[in-house]
Each structure stands twice: as structure tokens, then as C-alpha cells.
Structure 1
Amino acid sequence: MAARYEEIARDLRERIASGEYPPGATLPLMRDVAEGYGVSDITVRKAYGLLRREGLIESRRRAGTVVREHPDRLRLVVRTRQIERDELGYYSGPEAQHWRPLPHPDGEKTKVVTLPVPTDIADILEVETGSELTVRRRLIGDPDVETHRQLADSWISPWVTEEIPQLTGGTGLGGMYDRLEESEGRALQWREEISARMPAPEEAQALVMPLTGVPLLRALRVTFFPARGKKPERIAEVQDIRMSSEIFAVGYPLPRGASALWPVSPATGDYYETPPES
């Protein structure tokens, strides 16, 4: 059985979704809600806290508790996950072609530092967690839309910094990927995994997003040279990309696997009746 504050939150959530409380509307004072439901102020405070963590409402000075515009009611900007190229070099998806590096608070557009690598990225790069690696940190965005931006940290594999030390500083025209392909004489490939988490305070500030109620979309993009002959796959970089899920969605095609190539064979089993294979 749901707790009383969860029931109140569900009721208010439905009233927000129905438009009874549209974006920008002020919710009743907690004491009035408590009286209407016959509960204590503490119970209502917990209900409001739940809705706040979901990103549905926010507290505004002198305005009270206000309904926020929520991603479910917006047409999000879909970021197409594919690699494109123009006269400046490679970029990820047509929606970001006109994006440019934005300055960090200290004025730098790319910060090249040495930091301990996080566990998930260390696993991909096959190095010890906490190893000191070169990372190129950038804030990239639409020059004309303040909230259309992303954080991108490029964690560089140790073999790259040894063989192409230039990449610990300026990368030249075309950037890091051009230098890598020139060094190897062959084409890079990319793959990504998408996840979500809540932002750290500095991430929320950089991305102009709320600190609570809105998760980050996180794409870990792996840049690699595929296996060739007896040479194994060689991972050059893992880029940690973060953007606001309140604004962006991730779009990608769903290719047919080998078992689903057209023409297909007729189905022979009932999906609802056939037990799964053990």
C-alpha cells in the first residue's frame, strides 16, 4: 500500500498532467493542501518533495511552488548519433554542426589536464581505476541558444599520448581524430553507450539546467581502430558526453540483424503461448 504522501503526490501529478495546474501555475500553499487532504504539513511537504525530485515543480522566491515545463510535454531536440564531416573535420550529428566550443569560466575553450580516470572509463581503456590520464575537457554549444550545450571530456588512451604527444596540447586543423588517422593511415570507427544520472552541481551550472529533478543524458563514445589481421582492436579515446535530458533526446536507427534480413520466414509459434528457450 502506498504511503499517504505518495497518494497525494500521485493526485497532484495527475492534475498537473491533465492541465489543471499548467506550466507556470502556482500550487496551493502546503497548509491549504494539508487541510484539504486531512493530513499534516509534514506529509504534504514530503509529497511536494517527491514531485520536486521528479522535476515537475520548483520553489521560486516570492512565487511559491510553481509547475515546471516538463520534458513529457515538450518536443525534445533529437540528437542523431552519427559521425559527419565538413571542412572543419568530424562532428557528431547534423544538429550539432554549427555548435562551437564555449569558454570555461577561466576563458579557456579546451582544458587539457591530467586526472584520475573514472572506473567505467578505465574498464573500457583497460587501465587501472584512478590511473592518471590526459583528458581534453570542453563545453560545446549553440552560440545562439544558451541552453543547447554539452560537456565533453575526451579521455585519451596512454598509447596515444606516447605515440602522438601533440594531442596533449594543440591538435591542429581537423583536431584529434585527423591526427590519429594520419598516424595510423586508416579510418577510425566509433560506438556509443547511453545512460542517465543526476548532475553534479558544476555540471548543472555549466549546462544551464536544474540541480534537481532533471537527469543528465550521458553518452560514452569509444573511438577505436578496428582489429586488422593479427592486430587487435586499438581504443584511442573515450569521450564522456553529458547533456540535459530536459532538452535533448537521443535518436538512432535500428538496423535489421542477420536473423531478420528481408525476406523473412513466416512465424511458426504463438508469442503468448510459446515458452522461452532455457
Structure 2
Amino acid sequence: MPRYEQVADDLRARIHAGEYEVGAKLPQYSELTEIYGVGRGVISSALGLLEREGLIRVVKRAGIRVLDWRVQRRRIGRGQTVMRDPARGYVFPAASHAGEPWIVHGRAVRSYEPVPERVASFLGIEPGIAVLRRRRVTSPADEPAFQIVDTWLSPEAVRDAPQAAEANTGPGGYIDRLEEAGHGPIEWTEHARARTPSDEEAGLLDISPESPVLELVLVGKSPALDRPVDVTVRVIPADRVELVTDLRRDDSAQWPVAPVVVPTKPE
């Protein structure tokens, strides 16, 4: 086993045993080289391995901090059904369970921000222009930040449904306001991909910039405009979630299998 893997194994075991608690700092580089009798390159490789596993976060001039590795992986059922709750409005597939309390970390923020290129491509607008973004960082109660949720509303959406841009969007949320303003019934398409987080995302989720994230993008299309009016981007640490999809049989795949009738050749 390479020496850096041996060092990583020992540090990992100490973290899991609680010798280095969540939120605590590991010894500095110089101390680690003395403890293990190796060079700085070996320590750097070992820490890089642990960082990719989501156990630690290395921040220049701030030290090496132990992250909360005890968070359980959650399942998200990716069905194709959008439901409606009389109190909350539309309900999309999510990682929460019925009745489970969720909290907002910090406060929800509404601001005009330069629209990212990927979101701009969905909205059909120029990248970098100022677009309304509704941001919140949420998680189940008593758990670290689980996801960043950014909802971007097109200029037409804000123009036609100004209440959708306010702090209090009213019963049913901003989607109800959009549909009331003539953009209903909205049709949704979901895009999923894995990627590395931005420095800002890593900071908000308190994860290593080396740790991959799952990005779920929900694009809401207005039939009146025949193009999207809102894009919601969810960013979740990839090691905290798995996607589960129930598969259904097509008519051609029914059981029992229908017997195959082979036509006989006339004699």
C-alpha cells in the first residue's frame, strides 16, 4: 500500500473513532509530517484522498477541518407525478418524508444576480444579465445544510406576476402566481447531472470543493410563451443522496409472455 494511503487510513480511523471530532481541526502540515515521518507531498496526497471522500476540508490559512461525515444518505424517488397539497401548492419529488420538519439555514434571499450560462440557456436569454434569483439553503432539522435551492424567474415572469418576486408569494407559492398571470398550466422537465461544486456552493454546504454534487434542474415552461419562465436548480452533496426510480412494464413487456404464433407454410 502506498505510504499516503497508509497515512489516510490512519487519519480516517482516528476521525471515525472520534479522536478528531466533527468541526475540530487536524494538526497542521508540519505537525503531520513529523507524526508520520513523511514528506509534505505524502501528507498532501493523503489529505486530498480524505477531502474527496468528504471527511475533511482543507482551507488555506484556516487549517484542516473535520466535516460531518455521519449524515445519512437519503433517497429521492424520481417519479413522473407532480402532486398538489391544498396548503402548500405543487409538490415535486424530494428527499423529505411526509411530515418531516425542514429548516432554512440563514435566511432566504431574493436578489438580482448575473444569470449563469446554463440557466440562461434554458430561459433563452443572454448569460450574465441581472435576473431575479430566490435562494435558500435547507436541510432536515438538526442536520447540516443538505441542499442549495436557487429559483431563477425570467423577466417576463416578474413583469406578469410581480408577487412571485416578493417575500410573501401568497398561497400556493410563486408557481400559482405565474399560472394566475396567464402562464398556466406550466409544464416541467427535469435535468440531472453530477459535477464539482463552485467555491461558493462548497462553502454554503460546508463540503470539500473536491466532493462531487448532484445538480437537479427543474425547468418550468409557459404554454403562453412556449418557453421556460422559471428554472429551479437544486445542488446536493452527491454522497448524501441516491435517486430511486420505479420502472413500469410497457405493453410489449407484459407477463406471461404471449405465445408466438409461427405461420405455417402451405403445402
Q: What TM-score comes out, normalization by structure 2 length?
A: 0.69
From the superposition, tell whether residues 22 and 129 of structure 1 become closer, same or farther in structure 2 (CA, over 3 Å): closer
2:253 corresponds in structure 1 to 262
**Deviations 1:177-208 (Å, cap 9, x if unpaired)?**
1122233374323222222334345434433x
From the superposition, tell whether residues 193 and 9 of structure 1 become closer, same or farther in structure 2 (CA, over 3 Å): farther
Question: Matched residues in 1 for 2:54 and 2:143: separation?
Answer: 22
Matched, 1:85 2:84: yes
Matched, 1:102 2:93: no
1:150 corresponds in structure 2 to 147
1:147-226, aligned counterparts within 5 Å?
147=144, 149-169=146-166, 170-184=168-182, 186-207=184-205, 209-225=206-222
Q: Helix, strand or coil for the counterpart of 1:246?
A: helix
Of all paired residues, the percent bearing the same amino acid is 23
1:3 corresponds in structure 2 to none
What code does the residue aligned with 1:131 have? I
Answer yes or no: is the 8 Å Cα contact 1:52–1:212 preserved in 2: no
Question: Matched residues in 1 for 2:43 and 2:94: separation?
Answer: 44
From the superposition, tell whether residues 171 and 54 of structure 1 become closer, same or farther in structure 2 (CA, over 3 Å): same
Question: Cα offset for 1:219?
Answer: 1.3
Answer yes or no: is the 8 Å Cα contact 1:133–1:156 preserved in 2: yes
Question: Cα offset for 1:93?
Answer: 2.7
Matched, 1:111 2:109: yes
Question: Matched residues in 2 for 1:116 and 1:244: separation?
Answer: 24
Pick one of 244, 251, 263 that aligns with 1:251: 244
Answer yes or no: is the 8 Å Cα contact 1:23–1:67 preserved in 2: no
Pick one of 117, 130, 133 that aligns with 1:132: 130
Question: Matched residues in 1 for 2:65 and 2:152: separation?
Answer: 40
- Is there any run of 5+ residues in structure 2 with no aligned partner, and where? 21-30, 259-267
Answer yes or no: is the 8 Å Cα contact 1:115–1:135 preserved in 2: yes
- Using the TM superposition, name which of 80-89 and 128-137 deviates more: 80-89
**Deviations 1:214-257 (Å, cap 9, x if unpaired)?**
3322211111245xxxx77331211111122232223334566x
From the superposition, tell whether residues 29 and 94 of structure 1 become closer, same or farther in structure 2 (CA, over 3 Å): closer
Answer yes or no: is the 8 Å Cα contact 2:113–2:133 preserved in 1: yes
CA RMSD of aligned residues (A): 3.9
Q: What TM-score comes out, normalization by structure 1 length?
A: 0.66
From the superposition, tell whether residues 45 and 122 of structure 1 become closer, same or farther in structure 2 (CA, over 3 Å): same
Question: Cα offset for 1:136?
Answer: 1.4
Question: Matched residues in 1 for 2:145 and 2:199: separation?
Answer: 18
- Is there any run of 5+ residues in structure 1 with no aligned partner, and where? 1-5, 35-39, 267-278
Question: Cα offset for 1:21?
Answer: 7.3
From the superposition, tell whether residues 29 and 59 of structure 1 become closer, same or farther in structure 2 (CA, over 3 Å): farther
Answer yes or no: is the 8 Å Cα contact 2:165–2:174 preserved in 1: no
Question: Matched residues in 2 for 1:236 and 1:190: separation?
Answer: 11
**Deviations 1:137-191 (Å, cap 9, x if unpaired)?**
222332x223253221111122211211222213111101112223337432322
Answer yes or no: is the 8 Å Cα contact 2:52–2:211 preserved in 1: yes
Question: Matched residues in 1 for 2:132 and 2:13: separation?
Answer: 52
Question: Cα offset for 1:123?
Answer: 0.7
Question: Cα offset for 1:127?
Answer: 0.4
1:269 corresponds in structure 2 to none
1:76 corresponds in structure 2 to 73
Aligned length: 236
